[in-house]
Amino acid sequence: MKLEADLHVHTLASSHAYSTITEIARWSADIGLKAVAITDHGSAMPDAPHIWHFQNLDTIPDHLFGVHILRGVEANVMDPKGSLDIEEWILKKLDWVVASMHKQTALMTDPDEVTSAWMGIAENPYVDVIGHMGLPRYACDYDKVVRAFGEHGKLVEINSHSFDVRKEAVPNCRKVAELCMKYGVQISVDSDAHFHMDVAKVDKAMAMLREIDFPEELIVNASYERLVKYLENRNRPKA
């Protein structure tokens, strides 16, 4: 199975990434992708772009080199309420919102607090996908949280980058994937690429999904048509 979209990609606007949107779009076209989401880090991260970066993303065309460009952010989950570091008026302007926890921004580590934060994210109408939630420092009630994500129409990300740089998260990634399969929760399999030639490199994540016999029909970005259907049907307030 080959992905038709990568929904978590960083540009050089995140200062520890190294490619432009144009380079990412051209590479995506060359490898046969139909869509890519540009998701630079939200404002609370030390390497984040200025908030104007997100405010001004609508200057980017809808398509480059035939690839659908989703203008987005990897927003930071900040507290047990599930607050994000990007204001709602900007979230409304974006095509795609990943919500993630990072050690630089999400200081809670108590499982009850982390569970509470994810439950708040589940109710946020602007969040599309939950980013790399396998880190042991952010352990939570995975069963409760995954069910809530499904009930609120969120995607759960299986982040292939974690298999290289967050290896301690891999057992939890598998656990989360198994729960998504159990409850019929849709996922996205993403590269979290920080260089354009890593876009759609998700071999390790896909190998794990094959090991547990994960159904392809639950992988939203395995089909561009499935992704478009998700975008059309998500319960997001109009901008």
- Residue 120's pLDDT is 98
Give residue limits of the domains in the chain. 5-233
Closest CA to 143 of 151, 101, 135: 151
Alpha-carbon distance of 208 to 79, in angstroms, equals 31
pLDDT tens-digit series, residues 166-185: 889 999 999 999 999 999 99
pLDDT tens-digit series, residues 150-168: 999 999 999 999 999 888 9
Q: Give the β-pairing of 63-64 and 67-76.
A: antiparallel
- Whether 161 and 187 have beta carbons less than 8 Å apart is answered as no
- Residue 237's pLDDT is 82
- Whether 36 and 24 have beta carbons less than 8 Å apart is answered as yes
- Residue 95's pLDDT is 98
Q: Which CATH superfamily is domain 5-233 in?
A: Metal-dependent hydrolases (3.20.20.140)
Alpha-carbon distance of 85 to 76, in angstroms, equals 6
- Residue 239's pLDDT is 57
- Residue 225's pLDDT is 98
- Residue 102's pLDDT is 95
pLDDT along the chain (239 residues), means of 10: 95 96 98 98 96 97 98 98 97 97 93 98 98 95 98 97 91 97 98 98 97 98 98 84
